[in-house]
Amino acid sequence: MRAAISIFLFFGVTISLFAQEKSYKIGCIGFYNVENLFDTLDTPNVSDTEFTPNGPKGYGTAIYTEKLSHLSEVISRLGTELTPDGVALLGVSEVENRKVLEDLAAQESLKDRNYQIVHYDSPDGRGIDVALLYNPKYFEVLDSKQIPMPSYESNGVMRYTRDILLVSGLFDGEPLHVLVNHWPSRSGGEKATQHLREMAALLCKNAVDSLCNADPNAKVLIMGDLNDDPTSSSVKQILRAKRKTRDMRECDLYNPWWDLYKKGIGTLAYRDTWNLFDQIILSKGATDKTREGYYYYQARVYNKPHMVQKSGNFKGYPYRTFGGDTYLGGYSDHFPVYVFLLKEVTGD
């Protein structure tokens, strides 16, 4: 038997799910590290000179315009295999400011979705932030805030990095909380910087616990470029994100990317090794099929052939915008990820 799948307004998409025919609403939520989406202006007190016309990359209007076009083309297709309107919410990282997000949302392939923006400036020295794009047809923002991410070098010097963005709202009328992240990088060595990502993980876990204490059925998504894999200590031990939903207890987290990572599927490559840094991790309330409302269905990496570098030093890697200061004309050095949530529709 085949089950009718529809997104909110019933578009009649069908897929096989269970042994009996059922109707569902389906929603798509994604994350994309868009790789240095800067404007072309030299902003005071921000290290963005390389992304200006006079910088070493020659980053002018033509490059900026083409990058926006490429990114919007990818975003417009995320999730459309099941939902005609694609991603209802999209977390993004490596954006310079609100203006670049407005320019992205205004692109021809996206403008009809009327994506709205939640964004705050972070203290990151390079001037890059995280943000959330959302389709107001499907999501209503009720509250948002920054969670500061203080981090320190081994010598006690403050290391400025991206804050965590917490957005709470109604997803098709249901309470939903989203934490958008871009955890500290591995620059300086994985082990040497491990404590920074573990701190970020602890901040996320504390936020989830607080939300869960207020509502044990809270639907919470932790998304972002974690700069760690599903098996890393920050994710496995600090977040305690489970590999199997059957192992979850109340207020636990589930990581659907573990098995994909074990199969060698990643979102970025470094020294011919794939990592799966870009993840969307879900609370028990967002995975439990026995509870009312939306629940987790599938996780996917969007890694189409045209988004893969065909030659050169980065052959086989995600087709990036720059290789050093050389313009390659690609999309991003990360693949985006997305999850589908289902909700059974009862009655006629």
Other C-beta atoms lying within 10 Å of the C-beta of residue 281: 27
Q: Residue 15's pLDDT is what? A: 47
DSSP reduced 3-state for 279: strand
Whether the per-residue pLDDT at 282 is higher than 80: the answer is yes
Q: Residue 144's pLDDT is what? A: 98
Q: Which has more pLDDT, 154 or 90?
A: 90
Exposed (0-12), middle (13-18) or buried (19+): which is 317, by Cβ within 10 Å? buried
pTM score: 0.93
End-to-end CA separation in angstroms for the chain:
18
Q: Residue 150's pLDDT is what? A: 78
Q: Residue 137's pLDDT is what? A: 96
Two structure tokens written together for 147: 């969670």
Q: What Rg do the C-alpha atoms of the chain give, in angstroms? A: 20
Whether the per-residue pLDDT at 217 is higher than 50: the answer is yes
Closest CA to 64 of 73, 75, 54, 52: 52
Is residue 272 very low, low, confident or very high in pLDDT (cuts 50, 70, 90)?
Answer: confident
The CA distance from 126 to 104, in Å, is 20
Two structure tokens written together for 99: 């203006």
Query: Is 337 within 8 Å of 20 (Cβ atoms)?
Result: no
Closest CA to 124 of 179, 95, 161, 154: 161
Q: Residue 3's pLDDT is what? A: 37
Percent of the chain whose pLDDT exceeds 90: 80
Q: Residue 152's pLDDT is what? A: 67
Q: What residue spans define the domains of the chain?
A: 3-345
| Residues paired with residue 318 on neighbouring β-strands, in sequence order | 308
The CA distance from 23 to 200, in Å, is 39
Chain mean pLDDT for the chain: 91
Q: Which has more pLDDT, 292 or 4?
A: 292
DSSP reduced 3-state for 132: strand
Query: Is 130 within 8 Å of 84 (Cβ atoms)?
Result: no
Is residue 348 very low, low, confident or very high in pLDDT (cuts 50, 70, 90)?
Answer: low
Is residue 153 very low, low, confident or very high in pLDDT (cuts 50, 70, 90)?
Answer: low
Helix H or strand E segment including 54: none
Closest CA to 92 of 294, 341, 302, 278: 278
DSSP reduced 3-state for 341: strand
Is residue 347 very low, low, confident or very high in pLDDT (cuts 50, 70, 90)?
Answer: low
Other C-beta atoms lying within 10 Å of the C-beta of residue 215: 12
DSSP reduced 3-state for 23: strand
Whether the per-residue pLDDT at 14 is higher than 50: the answer is no
Kindly report, residue by residue over 188-201, the tens digit of the pLDDT. Answer: 899 989 999 999 99
- For 125-151, what is the mean pLDDT? 94
Kindly report, residue by residue over 31-62, the tens digit of the pLDDT. Answer: 999 999 999 998 887 888 999 999 999 999 99
CATH superfamily of 3-345: Endonuclease/exonuclease/phosphatase (3.60.10.10)
Is residue 295 very low, low, confident or very high in pLDDT (cuts 50, 70, 90)?
Answer: very high
Kindly report, residue by residue over 75-134, the tens digit of the pLDDT. Answer: 999 999 999 999 999 999 999 999 999 999 999 999 999 999 999 999 888 889 999 999
The CA distance from 104 to 150, in Å, is 29
- For 324-341, what is the mean pLDDT? 97
Q: Residue 197's pLDDT is what? A: 95
Q: Provide φ and ψ at 246, rounded to 5°.
A: -65, -20
Maximum CA extent, the chain: 65
**Which alpha helices (DSSP H) does the chain contain, by range?**
61-77, 98-105, 190-214, 233, 258-262
Q: Residue 12's pLDDT is what? A: 37
Two structure tokens written together for 156: 């006690």
Whether the per-residue pLDDT at 18 is higher than 60: the answer is no
Q: Residue 52's pLDDT is what? A: 95
Q: Residue 326's pLDDT is what? A: 95
